[in-house]
């Protein structure tokens, strides 16, 4: 099976975009969505990730999900950035359904997370992702995030999965440079991206080629510049940017994502800041820390 997007590479900065809700939280603000994707395109990111964890995908109805994905793909195409759609589920059948929908709507790729709550073994994870990859002519980025899902893909399982022609990349959010290093060594045909903003440069040092970033919702140009620097072997420049962003990245994860980043975008006038239950707004301490961090970055 050969994907329609085999010419695209999973290298550089990919922004896991927030889903902008209206003031009452009962609908998506598509005008704001358009502005946010345009901001990412101007910032030079390689692509956007739609309806991921940062986009509060568990709280979207199927109708909202389909409309969000369709609108985001159209806007990404205008901006010249890749559109990667979150299609993961803890039900393999549901993940297949979402994978086929993303392909039908014209996505460039899909982000497929470890099945959460079920806690399958490695054989179950292998069969799940192989079934998803077989279901549509669409590149897959595996999403390895045990902190959210309760289970991790091992480097050995990722190596097996990388033999599927549609499985093209992995978002490695284990926070382990050892895991990242082993995956990059075992899977030369698989592009590895950091799933944690503060680990972008450390992971690049052992073979990663980019990041799926939360912070780039706010500073797409800086995250893009960081990736460009290490991809061009300008490691000193990359280290300078890493140090400039390090504390900022840490602040954006003082509470569960996307609580801090949505607070930051509200302060910048770029989002309503509304989250859907069970997510709630940040504590007063978090909001103060976010405001200080934005000021230190000369954004406020």
Instruction: Cite the active site residues.
Output: 143, 171
DSSP codes joined into one string, 46-111: SEEEESSTTTTGGG--HHHHHHHHHHHHHHHHHHT-EEEEE---SSHHHHHHHHHHHHHTT-SEEE
Cβ-contact 111, 88 below 8 angstroms: yes
How far apart are alpha carbons 169 and 300 in whole angstroms? 36
Quick one: tokens of 134? 């077989």
| Beta carbons of 50 and 83 less than 8 angstroms apart | yes
Helix H segments across the chain? 30-42, 62-79, 92-104, 122-135, 146-149, 155-161, 177-186, 200-205, 220-231, 235-251, 259-267, 284-296
- N-to-C CA span, the chain: 49
Chain-centre distance for alpha carbon 113: 10
**Residues making up the chain, counted from first to last:** 300
Other C-beta atoms lying within 10 Å of the C-beta of residue 250: 13
The span from the CA of 74 to the CA of 205, in Å, is 35
Q: How far is residue 45's CA from residue 4's CA, in Å, rounded to a whole number?
A: 21
């Amino acid at each position: 099976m050969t994907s329609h997007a085999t010419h695209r590479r999973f290298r550089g900065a990919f922004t896991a975009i927030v889903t902008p809700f209206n003031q009452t939280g009962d609908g998506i603000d598509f005008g704001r969505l358009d502005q946010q994707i345009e901001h990412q395109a101007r910032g030079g990111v390689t692509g956007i990730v739609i309806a991921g964890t940062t986009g509060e995908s568990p709280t979207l109805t199927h109708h909202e999900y389909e409309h969000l994905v369709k609108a985001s793909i159209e806007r990404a195409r205008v901006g010249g950035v890749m559109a990667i759609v979150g299609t993961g589920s803890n039900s393999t059948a549901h993940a297949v359904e979402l994978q086929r929908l993303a392909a039908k709507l014209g996505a460039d790729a899909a982000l497929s997370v470890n099945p959460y709550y079920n806690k399958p073994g490695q054989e179950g994870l292998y069969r799940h992702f192989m079934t998803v990859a077989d279901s549509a002519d669409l590149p897959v980025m595996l999403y390895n995030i045990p902190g959210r899902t309760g289970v991790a893909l091992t480097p050995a399982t990722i190596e097996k999965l990388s033999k599927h022609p549609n499985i093209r990349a992995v978002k490695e959010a284990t926070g382990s440079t050892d895991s990242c290093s082993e995956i990059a060594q075992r899977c030369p045909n698989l592009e590895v991206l950091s799933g944690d903003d503060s680990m972008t440069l450390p992971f690049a040092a052992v073979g990663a080629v980019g990041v799926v970033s939360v912070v780039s919702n706010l500073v797409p140009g800086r995250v893009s510049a960081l990736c460009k620097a290490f991809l061009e072997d300008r490691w000193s420049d990359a280290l300078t940017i890493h140090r400039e962003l390090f504390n900022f990245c840490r602040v954006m994860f003082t509470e569960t994502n996307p609580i801090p980043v949505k607070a930051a975008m509200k302060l910048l006038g770029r989002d309503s800041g509304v989250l859907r239950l069970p997510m709630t707004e940040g504590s007063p301490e978090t909001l103060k820390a976010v405001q200080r961090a934005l000021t230190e970055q000369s954004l406020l």
